[in-house]
Amino acid sequence: MNENKFIRLIKREKFSFFLKLCIYFVLISISFVYLEPIFRMISMAFMSTTDVIDPSIDWIPHNPSINNIKVASTVLNLKKTLFNSFWFSALLATSQTIVSALTGFALSRFKFKFKNFWIIMIIVAFIIPMPLLMIPRLMMFISFQNILGFNLIGTPIPQVLMALLGQGVNSTILILIFYNFFNLIPYSLDEAAMLDGASPSQVFWKVAMKISASTVLVVFLFSFVWNWNETYVTGTLVRSSIDLLPSKLNMFDSAFESYAAGSRGTAQFRLNEAYKMSATLISITPLLILYAFVQKQFIQGVENTGITGE
């Protein structure tokens, strides 16, 4: 009797071990599907011209060279574009971080009238599709430009203004991250500061912001990455007057498309493809490096939005 039970237990152990193995197999195979485009880009970027044309080479280049990357970086005008992208995204991310912190603080600390209404509006602002808002925004900025007498379209001013007033890329998520973090800070801390005569803005800058340095970092990074990748709003408002990496990549794409039209699979097409992929790889490399260092913070940032139901 006892022995029987023991055997059954072992069988069950074995089965669950087998099940685990299956789960690992599935998860690891799927992670390959996620990474395949990136692997493909890396492999294509390091192929020499003969490797690219040779259809028998699929993944590993025979004569590796960095020629493709060289060509792509000259076409992208890499140094200048990279620099532009950096300051542009950093500027927008800074403004977005400040306004999200202020809004999150207001929502978590004060019980003002129509608070729930504003929370719903913050979520609605996320759902409304961008094109619906972009046309009047564009018209507004063109009208301002005519009144003020200097160019707004083609400069970062409109986007900075929008970011500063909390209408940048995915502002809603950033606000929610701050809102939930501030909810975790005990209110007695604020009270202690206020007893010592601090005003609400002092509480915000000297208490709340000092504790939430890690959250500020997370929000800043998210905002940075999203602004880096954003092309629709930037394409409408800045157009091509500032060379930014993703929009330049877009133009790169359309430029090569006219070369390779209708000739999929030919040598010329594959060669252009290799250049394009190298360009794409270059444009995502800064983000990949960033992610390698702070991936944990990114994931925790999403967990802290608290939209998973508290």
Among 46, 88, 204, 220, binds another protein (CB under 8 A): 204
Nearer to another protein, 79 or 113 (CB): 113
CA 106 to chain centre: 26
Q: Are 88 and 65 in contact (CB under 8 A)?
A: no
Q: How far is the CB of 27 from another protein (least distance, A)?
A: 5
Q: How far apart are CA 160 and CA 89, in angstroms?
A: 10
Residue 287 CB contacts under 8 Å (≥ 6 apart), including other chains: 225, 228, 229
Q: How far is the CB of 175 from another protein (least distance, A)?
A: 8
Residues 3-32 that bind another protein (CB under 8 A): 20, 23-24, 26-28, 30-31
Among 138, 209, 211, 217, binds another protein (CB under 8 A): 138
Site map for another protein, 57-76, x if CB under 8 A? --------------------
Nearer to another protein, 23 or 66 (CB): 23
Q: Are 275 and 71 in contact (CB under 8 A)?
A: yes
Q: How far is the CB of 194 from another protein (least distance, A)?
A: 11
Q: How far is the CB of 193 from another protein (least distance, A)?
A: 14
Residues 86-115 that bind another protein (CB under 8 A): 99, 102-103, 105-107, 109-113, 115
Mapped onto helix, strand or coil, the DSSP state of residue 63 is coil
Q: How far apart are CA 307 and CA 73, in angstroms?
A: 41
Residues 268-307 that bind another protein (CB under 8 A): 269-270, 273, 276-277, 280, 283-284, 287-288, 290-291, 295-296, 298-299, 302-303, 307
Pick the closest to residue 60 from 76, 46, 49 (CA basis): 46
**Does 309 help bind another protein (rule: CB under 8 A)?**
yes
- Residue range at the interface with another protein (CB under 8 A); choices 5-13, 60-68, 71-79, 125-133: 125-133
**Does 153 help bind another protein (rule: CB under 8 A)?**
no
**Does 200 help bind another protein (rule: CB under 8 A)?**
yes
Give 230's DSSP letter.
-
**Does 184 help bind another protein (rule: CB under 8 A)?**
no
Q: How far is the CB of 197 from another protein (least distance, A)?
A: 15
Q: How far apart are CA 94 and CA 223, in angstroms?
A: 8
Nearer to another protein, 67 or 194 (CB): 194
Q: How far apart are CA 59 and CA 67, in angstroms?
A: 17
Residues 230-249 that bind another protein (CB under 8 A): 230-232, 235-236, 246-247, 249
- The tokens 């619906």 sit on which residue? 132
Q: Are 167 and 159 in contact (CB under 8 A)?
A: no
Q: How far apart are CA 205 and CA 183, in angstroms?
A: 16
Q: How far apart are CA 304 and CA 178, in angstroms?
A: 9
